[in-house]
Structure 1
Amino acid sequence: MGIEGEGCESAGSTLVQGHCKEQPPSPPSDDEDSSKSTSSGDEDDDWFVSDSEEDEDYENQGAYSPFTVDTFPRASCDYDKQVAVLYGTPDIECRGPSPIMLFPPFKTGYHLFGSDYNLADKSEVTRSNDWDCSNKCRCHPMDLIQFIDVKIAGYQHTHPGRAKIFGFVAARDMIKPLRNYVYNRGLDNCEAVSVKKKDGVACLSLASPARVISMSSRALIEFELHALSEEKTNNDDDVIIEGCTELYDMHATKSFIRNQRLYGQRCALDIKYLVLINAVEARVDINVIRVPVHGINLKLLAKTSGFSNVIRLFQGTVLEVGISASFAVAVGRRNFLDLCIEGSQRDDDSPVQKTQQYECWQCSFGSRYHGVEDLVAELGDFAAVSVKISWTSYEKTY
């Protein structure tokens, strides 16, 4: 099944007065303030994100060394070709993420998943909440998918410098089977990624889905990724992997994490995600309200439901106040969303500024069906970010 581990039923750690206190906190009620924050940097190491951690896990498996670019299994979307790779490659389970079947992309006509997921409709899902629970709450928890990482692997990048990637990765669920993008870049907004020479791995910068992704026993992921060659500056581009597959929770009763790989002809796609049982949506809205003259380098990171995996929500440079962004994160009921905001002053090229000021703010929020929590993340005396957490469930009783 490719299950790597399970999250705890309640949050494993709560930030209290500047340090991390190991205790099983009491679950918050829907009418109490559940947030606890600190600006201490004592737990910074817990939020360190390394793209090489996953590769090191496979390198430590002794005789089962991970695939290199030269030894990487490759196959088209043809069913027989996929079966040959998945079941005919020796030790494939031990040399990378758990392999799953790659199905062809939908073009026209019949498709195995065409009717279940309405693949002919390429519209994007929108966030809506038309239910009123002011008189009587009709909310129920949902089983949800939370993506952690999406990577390409085994890609032979033959040009100097970074690879320029564009295309999309989207999920479709049974609530409303429309595209819910977690990666979506056009030709004019391609992403320059660093590709490791040995194994051809490159990490893509995920975007927030429009709303959380339901996993009521199954969901679909579809994708089409291109690499733009230096010689090609128009739509004459190269598809490096495209297709779709169905994800299953196998009637799980506990939340878990999976790391899976789809093998294509030119590269593979690695997807790492959580499946959270009995969960709700946390809508994280941030707005930058104070920055220094030369701006700041800003990161917004999250952890959910007792899992240690870091979700990278935002990373970039902010030059002025008023910059805002919104993110949807799945959080288990009777559990916690942990946020970390990191900020550092940008170098102004002045010899007077010898050190770069760095600040980190952390906070935990207890999940609920309803409610809004507003806080201000103070990053020292040089920057501040307003944070609003809104709780929602899309599963209702009529």
Structure 2
Amino acid sequence: MPNWRVCKRHAYRAMMQIFSLKLAYTSSYVSGPVQLYGYVAVRDLLNPMQNYVFNHTRNNPLVVEYDGFIQMPGPKRGIRMQAPVLIEFNLKIKTGGEEEGDDQQVIDGVAIFSDRYFGHARVNTQRMDGDGGSVDIKFAFLEQASEATVQVGISEIEKGSCFSLCLAGSYVSPSYVSHGKIQLFDGVVSADASELRRTVVAVAQDGKLVVKLTLSQKGGLDICTIFPVEKHGSQAFIFKLGVATVEVMVPWSTMDIPKSRLRPNCFAHEFRASEGVEFD
């Protein structure tokens, strides 16, 4: 239909939302922050290519602090869960040796997550055990959801200014049993910043995405805005902070391609896999 707000051509789809990854423990004693590298990637039947949730090279490791939380730059697109999804884990701790073989392997393996084993909108935590440690993954399965791509832009920054900014997402929904927090951005913003980063989240059909901005300056500042879930289009909100202007834009998509002319038809494979039918 021409009006995308009442579109009957596209439908909300089952999706998976990953809230956080946490380095639960390592087999060897670690006295302080560790340098973590490797990747965590998701594969679904919408597109079986790797969809990276975490991806750092040995030359650019992520410093994981005492709380163990692993900062996630991904996923790069929504995770369809109309059929089981596969998550690959390959994480190592850089120990300071010359070669990669000197480093500690935390986990190297795969896990399958199925929509049949998790209730709608329940936030679950599952521990993935490896030979050298464990990783906790917090996630939820949403029966009917839309993909929201949160884009954060910075403009009108006072010359020479520098401030700490935190953006976090959460949900308002009658169907959620418990709420999960999504870290959108947490860091220092300098005068040369323009676009911080893009974060993809899944929002249930009956839900709303709440974006909270926290500016850590003298006195502090907290601002919230709510984005109702949509099938198409985009929404934007501008925060006037004095030292800078922060614009949050949220484009929406159901990731639905009915009667696709693409061959092979990925949705046909997805449907057959969900019914337990094997195919080449």
What is the TM-score when the length of structure 2 is the normalising length?
Answer: 0.82
Q: CA deviation at 1:274?
A: 1.0
In the alignment, the residues of structure 2 paired with residue 151 and residue 159 of structure 1 have an alpha-carbon distance, to the nearest angstrom, of 15
Aligned match for 2:36, one of 165, 183, 186: 165
Aligned match for 1:326, one of 188, 193, 198: 198
In the alignment, the residues of structure 2 paired with residue 295 and residue 279 of structure 1 have an alpha-carbon distance, to the nearest angstrom, of 37
Q: CA deviation at 1:162?
A: 1.3
Q: Deviations over 1:261-287 (max 9, x none)?
A: 122222112111011110011111110
Q: Is the 8 A contact 1:30 1:369 kept in 2?
A: yes
1:235 aligns with 2:100: yes
Aligned match for 2:162, one of 290, 295, 308: 295
For structure 1, which segment, 280-289 or 293-302, has the greater mean C-alpha deviation from structure 2 after superposition?
293-302
Q: Is the 8 A contact 2:225 2:237 kept in 1?
A: no
Q: Is the 8 A contact 1:343 1:358 kept in 2?
A: yes
Aligned match for 2:215, one of 332, 343, 348: 343
Secondary structure of the structure 1 residue equivalent to 2:209: strand
Q: Deviations over 1:306-360 (max 9, x none)?
A: 3522111211111124133211110111321111111224xxxxxxxxxx24212
Q: Give 5+ residue unaligned stretches, structure 1.
A: 1-28, 33-135, 197-201, 346-355
- 1:210 aligned partner: 76
Q: Is the 8 A contact 1:259 1:270 kept in 2?
A: yes
In structure 1, give the amino acid aligned to 2:248.
V
Secondary structure of the structure 1 residue equivalent to 2:26: coil
In the alignment, the residues of structure 2 paired with residue 375 and residue 368 of structure 1 have an alpha-carbon distance, to the nearest angstrom, of 15
In structure 2, give the amino acid aligned to 1:210.
K
- 1:315 aligned partner: 186
Q: CA deviation at 1:253?
A: 6.8
Q: Give 5+ residue unaligned stretches, structure 2.
A: 260-280
Q: CA deviation at 1:362?
A: 0.8
Cα 1:227–1:252, aligned 2, differ >3 Å: closer, same or farther? closer
Cα 1:276–1:305, aligned 2, differ >3 Å: closer, same or farther? farther
- 1:153 aligned partner: 24
In structure 2, give the amino acid aligned to 1:396.
I
- 1:358 aligned partner: 220
Q: Is the 8 A contact 1:144 1:213 kept in 2?
A: yes
- 1:139 aligned partner: 10
Aligned match for 1:244, one of 83, 88, 110: 110
In the alignment, the residues of structure 1 paired with residue 107 and residue 244 of structure 2 have an alpha-carbon distance, to the nearest angstrom, of 41
Secondary structure of the structure 2 residue equivalent to 1:187: coil
- 1:191 aligned partner: 62
- 1:370 aligned partner: 232
Cα 1:258–1:159, aligned 2, differ >3 Å: closer, same or farther? closer
Q: Is the 8 A contact 1:145 1:214 kept in 2?
A: yes
In the alignment, the residues of structure 1 paired with residue 92 and residue 143 of structure 2 have an alpha-carbon distance, to the nearest angstrom, of 34
Residue-pair matches, total: 250
Q: Is the 8 A contact 1:224 1:241 kept in 2?
A: yes
In the alignment, the residues of structure 2 paired with residue 262 and residue 253 of structure 1 have an alpha-carbon distance, to the nearest angstrom, of 20
- 1:181 aligned partner: 52
Aligned match for 1:386, one of 240, 247, 255: 247
In the alignment, the residues of structure 2 paired with residue 185 and residue 334 of structure 1 have an alpha-carbon distance, to the nearest angstrom, of 35
- 2:171 aligned partner: 304
Q: CA deviation at 1:144?
A: 0.6
- CA-based RMSD of the aligned residues comes to 2.2
In structure 2, give the amino acid aligned to 1:343.
L
Q: CA deviation at 1:239?
A: 1.4
Cα 1:195–1:251, aligned 2, differ >3 Å: closer, same or farther? closer
Secondary structure of the structure 2 residue equivalent to 1:181: strand
Secondary structure of the structure 1 residue equivalent to 2:201: strand
What is the TM-score when the length of structure 1 is the normalising length?
Answer: 0.59
